[in-house]
């Protein structure tokens, strides 16, 4: 289960990374839109790009936790490994979305365009 969980979390990280890039592209598209008043375009673009940078920080935290999990899984003795041993690896992580099974692999979305990463 632990390697399948790791694969699932890697897929979620790839999804979050793609969404981060999309936010940056949205911000750049706003800046390039000649129909937008310059001041308004800058404000909207800055908001999109700041959100993307916050997402990048969260993605970095996810990856650090997954590295920690993979390292701990590699150190478990395969001959005596139990499901509880593998569960303990995930429970020891920092981020709730990796540590708590009900949040695993899913970044909750709010009712707005914003993604809830925290």
- Does any domain span residue 108? no
**Which pTM was predicted?**
0.73
- Does any domain span residue 52? yes
- Does any domain span residue 116? no
Output DSSP code: residue 79: T
- The predicted pLDDT at position 87 comes to 82
- How many structural domains compose the chain? 1
Q: Which of 28, 9, 111 is nearest to 66 (CA)?
A: 9
85-90 CB contacts, 8 Å cutoff, 24+ apart: 86/1, 86/2, 89/2, 90/2, 90/5
- The predicted pLDDT at position 99 comes to 76
- Does any domain span residue 115? no
- Does any domain span residue 91? yes
115 pairs with which residues across the strands?
109
Output DSSP code: residue 80: T
pLDDT-flagged residues of the chain (< 70): 1, 101, 104-118
- Domain of 9? 2-103
- Does any domain span residue 118? no
- The predicted pLDDT at position 79 comes to 74
- Does any domain span residue 112? no
| Cα–chain center distance at 89 | 19
- Does any domain span residue 93? yes
- The predicted pLDDT at position 61 comes to 92
């Amino acid at each position: 289960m632990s390697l399948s969980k790791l694969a699932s979390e890697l897929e979620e990280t790839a999804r979050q990374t793609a969404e981060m890039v999309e936010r940056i592209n949205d911000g750049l598209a706003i800046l390039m839109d000649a129909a937008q008043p310059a001041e308004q375009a800058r404000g909207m673009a800055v908001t999109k790009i700041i959100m993307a940078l916050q997402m990048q920080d969260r993605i970095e935290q996810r990856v650090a936790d997954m590295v920690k999990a993979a390292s701990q899984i590699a150190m478990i003795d395969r001959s005596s490994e139990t499901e509880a041993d593998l569960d303990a690896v995930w429970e020891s992580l920092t981020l709730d979305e990796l540590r708590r099974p009900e949040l695993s692999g899913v970044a909750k979305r709010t009712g707005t365009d914003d993604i809830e990463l925290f």
